[in-house]
Amino acid sequence: MKTHEVRKKYLNYFKNNQHAIIPSASIVPQEDPTTLFTGSGMQPMLQFLLGETHPEGVRIVDSQTCFRAEDIDDVGDNRHTTFFEMLGNWSLGDYFKNEQLNWFFEFLTSEVGLDPKKLFVTAFIGDKDAGIEKDDEAAEIWKRLFKAKGIDAKVVDIGSEEDGYKNGMQDGRIFYYDSKKNWWSRAGVPSNMPAGEPGGPDSEVFYEFDYIEHDPSFGLHCHPNCDCGRYMEIGNSVFMQYQKQPDGSFKELDQKNIDFGGGLERIAAASIDSADMFKIDVLWNIIQKLQDLTGKKYEDHVVAKRVIADHLRSAVFMAVDGVVPSNTAQGYVMRRLLRRAIRRGYELGIESNLTTEVAQVVIDEYKQTYPELQTNNQLIIEVLRTEENLFRKTLERGIHEFTKRTSELDFSKRPPVPTGQRTELTGKLVFTLFDTYGFPAELSIEEAEKEGVKIQVGWKKDFDKLMLQQKDRSRTATAGQFKGGLAEHSEATTKYHTATHLMYKALRNVLGDHVVQRGSNITNERLRFDFSHGDKMTPEQIAKVETIVNEVIQKDMPVAYKEMSKDDAFGVGALGAFGEKYPDTVKVYTVGNPDGDYYSKEICGGPHVKHTGLIGKFKIVKEESSSAGVRRIKAVVE
């Protein structure tokens, strides 16, 4: 079945069951500056799941465009893309488990036509420590549903994922897994949940590609949650059923919700019984384009073509939501995707117009469903073209330098001339080309192979050593840079550092996501902060920012940092500053609980107070223009 048909059938099926169809929210969250991208259908629905009334009623259905930076390293396998659509349906205090499982099962088997014998499901085994029951209600429903299709479904207690690898399928069809696998809450497993937090068991559906043999490198035996590719998760029904109490126990919620999320592309892949998700129409058309452009078959470059197809599809959907390549936030992620795709393309011999050619295929593929792609067609192409040209210049310069530096010169002549001989490519030279010209190491090696330049034996060892030294150097330099030239880390400046974080976040909350840090300067008497914003702030806005900051101070939230890679930092939605060049490893400071409810996350070198209560009372003393489109605030703490 075609992907667009699966989407349409899903929306209509739930519409016929009294659901209101809502449009997909933007892939860049509009109301939540803590998160760079919409990563699930649930994300834009969260406030309604937490109790707010939805204007469209208590039954909602949609297909949400999602982007998951955290899945970038999985791209290349058979079933992960950074961009995908998540089919979602929600009951806001209306129907519950029985209707949900019935409907999803009927949708899969009757509407999409999946063979029920190839479906395997999971349910929650219970959590003794938290005093939460096994979800035998879900298992019973599944048993009945399979029975109606003439299948006697055996129920198996698996427990943990590790137990799954140890004990295998045991002829089961319905599997109980533990809270790591089949429990949902914002904070994770029951023991991590704060009091008041809602959560509940979930039930996943897997499709079996019976022609894929289990790959024992993943574990001794296969089971639904094994990642070898034989089973593919196609949908997850979350039953928001409990609320954690102050004494640690769990109480049934009065208003129980259903939160369902299913992968559109994965269901489409199941519908054509293809373990390779890239064989579905919307992705295959891109792959075909890549075959045309390279003159090389998919089968010979599976991973590279998957990566290019995925990254460029993501970039198109970012561009249509107004993201442009840059060195911060969403723009940084987009730049990285584009450059990765261009490099992979280059390896396959595409030296121009990769992004624009592929983007046009993506736009044509999706414009019926997302007309804004059509409206912004030219704009999207231009954004990609600019970035591709920029990056190709980097590559060109790299190749020029490569040729120059690997060409032997005859010094008996004045000026020296090339002899036509080539000198060896050393690890040191590979490093220099990368370090000075941004020319990737893989490309140096490839270029050498192409040009018949000898590659130094053991070049990699030298290269790695130099890279390590460089990392150490930049770490030290950054540590210095992050001090911002401050000689002292006095108690007062430390307070101002943290106060700056609180205010940055509050400004975004009050004024909007366009607020990005443009500069910051701290003395032990005040903070000064420049940020992008067009208008003068009103007295009400200033007062609101002060109130938010002072509330966070009063709540005495913990402040702590974690070191992580720059990509992970942006992946978790950490804020950065405009135009800032961050090192590969950064510190991410969180105000609040890093794994649960937090107030802000920001990339910063510190120092910061240990908890916000130490800051004192916060007050904005001046708000003025700094330059065009940039405002400046001076504030003090008392």
**Can you give the binding site for ligand ATP, defined by CB under 6 A?**
40, 68, 71, 80-81, 84, 86, 233-236, 261-263, 265-266
**Which strands make up the sheet holding 630-637, listed edge to edge?**
517-522, 527-532, 630-637, 618-627
Q: Nearest-5° angle of CA 232, CA 111, CA 43?
A: 55
Q: Which is nearer to ligand ATP, 77 or 382 (CB)?
A: 77
> Of the two residues 370 and 496, which places its CB atom closer to ligand ATP in the complex?
370
Closer Cβ to ligand ATP, 234 or 309, answer by number: 234
DSSP string across 544-576: HHHHHHHHHHHTT-BEEEEEEEHHHHHHTT-B-
* Distance between CA atoms of residues 365 and 4, nearest Å: 10
Angle at 425 between CA 424 and CA 428, to 5 degrees: 125
Q: Which is closer to ligand ATP, CB of 5 or CB of 161? A: 161
- For residue 297, how many C-alpha atoms fall within 13 Å in the half-sphere facing its CB? 2
Cβ at position 358, least distance to ligand ATP in Å: 19
Q: Which is nearer to ligand ATP, 261 or 592 (CB)?
A: 261
Complex with ligand ATP: residue 287 or 577, whichever CB lies closer: 287
622's enclosing H/E stretch is strand 618-627
Q: Closer to ligand ATP at the Cβ: 294 or 314? A: 314
Which residue number, 206 or 332, has a Cβ lying nearer to ligand ATP?
206
Question: Between 71 and 530, whose beta carbon lies closer to ligand ATP?
Answer: 71
Q: C-beta of 67: minimal distance to ligand ATP in Å?
A: 9
Instruction: Write down the least CB distance from residue 287 to ligand ATP, Å.
Output: 16
Work out how close the CB of 263 gets to ligand ATP at its nearest, in angstroms, rounded to a whole number: 3
* Nearest-approach distance from CB 110 to ligand ATP, in angstroms: 19
Say what angle helices 264-271 and 3-16 make with each other, to 10 degrees.
110
Write down the number of H helices and E strands in the chain.
19, 19
Q: DSSP characters for 356-399?
A: HHHHHHHHHHHTTT-HHHHHTHHHHHHHHHHHHHHHHHHHHHHH
Class of residue 415 by CB neighbours under 10 A (exposed 0-12, middle 13-18, buried 19+): exposed
Residue 598 burial (CB count, 10 A): 17
Instruction: Please state the closest distance from residue 336 (CB atom) to ligand ATP, in A.
Output: 17
Could you please report the per-residue DSSP string of 521-542? Answer: EE-SS-EEEEEE-SSPPPHHHH
d(CA 168, CA 470): 47
Q: Looking at beta carbons only, is 224 or 331 nearer to ligand ATP? A: 224
Which residue of the chain is nearest ligand ATP when measured via CB? 263
Residue 234 · residue 86 · CB < 8 Å: no
What does the alpha-carbon distance between residue 429 and residue 423 come to, in Å, rounded to a whole number? 11
Cα–Cα distance, 202 to 58 (Å, whole number) = 20
User: Shortest gap between Cβ of 262 and ligand ATP (angstroms)?
Assistant: 5
Got the DSSP string for 305-332? HHHHHHHHHHHHHHHHTT----SSHHHH
The distance of closest approach from Cβ of residue 41 to ligand ATP in the complex, given in angstroms and rounded to an integer, is: 8
Minimum CB separation from ligand ATP for residue 279, in Å?
Answer: 14
**How far does the chain reach from its first CA to its final CA, in angstroms?**
65
**CA 47 vs CA 32, 44, 54, 67: distances in Å:** 11, 8, 9, 20
Q: Least separation, in Å, of the C-beta of 40 and ligand ATP?
A: 6
Greatest CA separation found in the chain? 90
CB nearer ligand ATP, residue 40 or residue 255 = 40
Least distance to ligand ATP, CB of residue 79, Å: 6
Are 268 and 276 within 8 A, CB to CB? no
| Residue with smaller CB distance to ligand ATP, 262 or 573 | 262
Let me know the angle formed at the C-alpha of 380 by 378 and 386, rounded to the nearest 5 degrees.
100
Closest distance between ligand ATP and the C-beta of residue 236, in Å? 4
Report in angstroms how near the CB of residue 235 gets to ligand ATP at its nearest: 5
Please enumerate in sequence order all residues whose Cβ is within 8 A of that of 93, keeping only pairs 6 or more positions apart, or say none.
58, 255, 256, 257
Q: Residue 140: helix, strand or coil by DSSP?
A: helix
* CB of 337 or CB of 443, closer to ligand ATP: 337
Residue placing its CB nearer to ligand ATP in the complex, 263 or 592 = 263
